[in-house]
Amino acid sequence: MKSNENDMISSVREGEDFNREAFHSFLLTNVDWWPNEPLEVTQFSSGYSNLTYLIRCGEVEVVMRRPPLGPLPPKAHDMKREFSLLKKLYAAFPYVPKTYTLCEDESIIGVPFYVMERKKGLVFDGKFPQGFTVTEEKCKQISYAAVDTLAQLHQIDYREVGLENFGRPEGFIERQVHNWIKRYERSKTHDIPHFEIIAKWFTENIPSSNGAAVIHNDYKLNNMMFSEKNVSKVESVFDWELATIADPLFDLAAALGYWTEPNDWESVKTSLPSLTTTPGFISRDEYIHRYSLKTSQDIPPLHFYMAFTYFKIAVVMQQIYFRWFNGQTKDSRFATLDISIRSLMEYANEIIITKKF
């Protein structure tokens, strides 16, 4: 699904391979165009959550997606749900990859998985792709494309595409607050000074929802792919595991959280590295303004949403760190996540105090 192959695709990590023969046999049975030729399997190296593989078989390339290793939070990493979303959303939002088949039979590779189209293009993840000429104009074009695509997603009538039962927008924010607090408590490994303070503040300051839309819920630059010929054109948006029907401001805030700026806390920029600090990328204020114009919506103060965004990212990291801390994954990238968790909790507390956004 992701391109920039030299940077983003590598050998399958230790402990993350699967029964390739059983996988191949399943596809031969369930995908009529699947060739009976040897498999070549590599793994997309970015991302901390679901595991994603590039599968080559003869002239065919597809992407396989499956849950991560170790015990998982209830209802998280639901392959059937993610597959169903992509299948229904594809006609209205062609930036999602086309889906081919879903396997719920855990006897095949040990977990559910699905197979989808492999998209090609540029992914901006930590550094610019090799050979890409960086200019301020191109950075601005990437910025505008990111905002416009998010606005386009939020304007889809989710009922028309058959997603009316995909989420429960009523009470969504309240459920999120209590759910993410519980998630942190279940995966806690160290004391974080600000946790009790911010958890209490969130429960006492839940805003009313601002309508309902399809939200990606992890919308960020490195979950997008841009045309190699024209970076103002989006080729794909991926990693939809957290998507639902809910308040679009939740999605906007998540996007802004990952849209780091040069004057952000150094610890936050280290925890959430992004190319958006490069000259030419628009500011968060400009992002909000353009989104407002594209959606014809006035955007209220976002400090609750922004503080909760950083808190939620910290909890996601905590869940991953918990698996590493308990020896359930050997991925060395996870060993220092505790530093980022503390930093993001502190930043969430700062936003609550200062009402920065």
Residues paired with 57 in a beta bridge: 39, 60
Are the beta carbons of 53 and 43 closer than 8 angstroms?
A: yes
Query: Based on the structure, what is the number of domains in the chain?
Result: 2
Tell me the three state secondary structure of residue 93. coil
Question: With 80 as the cut, is the pLDDT of residue 135 above it?
Answer: yes
127 found inside a domain: no
d(CA 116, CA 119): 9
Question: With 60 as the cut, is the pLDDT of residue 76 above it?
Answer: no
Question: With 90 as the cut, is the pLDDT of residue 46 above it?
Answer: no
Question: With 50 as the cut, is the pLDDT of residue 6 above it?
Answer: no
33, 40, 43, 188, 356 from 60: Cα distances, Å:
9, 10, 16, 43, 49
Range with lowest mean pLDDT among 75-84, 225-234, 281-290, 299-308: 75-84
How much of the chain, in percent, has pLDDT values that exceed 90? 82
- If asked whether residues 325 and 205 sit together in one domain, one would say yes
E-assigned strands of 17-154? 39-44, 51-57, 60-66, 99-103, 113-117
189 found inside a domain: yes
- If asked whether residues 30 and 107 sit together in one domain, one would say yes
Look at the block and give the residue holding tokens 């950075």: 139
Question: With 90 as the cut, is the pLDDT of residue 356 above it?
Answer: no
129 found inside a domain: no
What are the pLDDT digits (tens) for 201-231?
999 999 998 899 999 999 999 999 999 999 9
- If asked whether residues 110 and 213 sit together in one domain, one would say no
Better-predicted residue by pLDDT, 333 or 157: 157
- If asked whether residues 103 and 226 sit together in one domain, one would say no
126 found inside a domain: no
Q: How sure is the predictor about 35, in pLDDT bands with cuts at 50, 70 and 90?
A: very high
40, 280, 336 from 121: Cα distances, Å:
21, 21, 31
Question: With 60 as the cut, is the pLDDT of residue 72 above it?
Answer: no
Are the beta carbons of 215 and 155 closer than 8 angstroms?
A: no
Q: Which two tokens stand for residue 80?
A: 């059937």
- If asked whether residues 50 and 157 sit together in one domain, one would say no
Query: What's 289's domain CATH number?
Result: 3.90.1200.10
Question: With 60 as the cut, is the pLDDT of residue 1 above it?
Answer: no
- If asked whether residues 94 and 158 sit together in one domain, one would say no
251 found inside a domain: yes
- If asked whether residues 16 and 81 sit together in one domain, one would say yes
**Owning domain of residue 324:** 136-354
- If asked whether residues 163 and 304 sit together in one domain, one would say yes
- If asked whether residues 156 and 94 sit together in one domain, one would say no
Predicted TM-score (pTM) of the model is 0.89
- If asked whether residues 54 and 188 sit together in one domain, one would say no
- If asked whether residues 316 and 349 sit together in one domain, one would say yes
What type of residue sits at position 35?
P
